Chain A
Amino acid sequence: DTGVSQNPRHKITKRGQNVTFRCDPISEHNRLYWYRQTLGQGPEFLTYFQNEAQLEKSRLLSDRFSAERPKGSFSTLEIQRTEQGDSAMYLCASKRGTGDHFGPGTRLTVL
């Protein structure tokens, strides 16, 4: 069990640019979740996958956001035309049962 990894750990971008984050879950975990956490707040659910199928998306996930999990392994979260309001920590979590394992997160700063 090597844990959940996320890359990059930090991303600084200019408004209007596209960014992509990657999450590598624990290998036997079939469920993968993306959350967004703004400073001083609790994480908020964005979307989740069971294997390769994206089964639910939050209303927080605007049309500029897209997530994939090809082959049910790693997942990517892309934000197009970034806005300053997208600045946050993006957390990935995976699980097989009821206990989520979180990655270290990707901190996005949009200038």
Chain B
Amino acid sequence: AQTVTQSQPEMSVQEAETVTLSCTYDTSENNYYLFWYKQPPSRQMILVIRQEAYKQQNATENRFSVNFQKAAKSFSLKISDSQLGDTAMYFCAFMKHDAGNMLTFGGGTRLMVKP
């Protein structure tokens, strides 16, 4: 079974600064995907960024980028130029590349962006 661990329950950052959220995972699989999801207060979960394990290049989406270290089983999210709208719960998630394709989530990190 896969496990996903987010060791930072809460973090805060000043607006316009950069913040990095940590995620580690445990799996014996070689072919899988990793995701970061954002869940704003009282709003639905949305996909921020995804990474295929077979790709060595780190994924980027505008102000969001990841540092994927496959050997270390680490998948951190960097948010540059933080905005007030980035305030949310952030969940790291793992998905095996198999028939089910269900997600295994970490416990989440609550990010507060301060003006």
Contacts and interface: CB of A to CB of B under 8 A. Distances in A.
Interface of A: 4, 31, 33, 35, 40-45, 48, 55-56, 91, 93, 95, 98-105
Contact of B91 (A31, A42, A103, A105): A42
A55 B101 CA distance: 11
Contacts of A104: 43-44
Contacts of B33: 98
Interface in B32-53: 33, 37, 43-47, 50
Tell me what chain A mostly uses at the interface: helix, strand, loop, or mixed. strand
Nearest to A101: B47
A56 B99 CA distance: 10
Interface stretch (B12-20, B61-69, B77-85, B104-112): B104-112
20 contacts: A35-B103, A42-B105, A42-B107, A43-B91, A43-B105, A45-B104, A48-B100, A55-B99, A56-B100, A93-B103, A95-B101, A98-B50, A99-B47, A100-B103, A101-B47, A102-B44, A102-B46, A103-B44, A104-B43, A104-B44
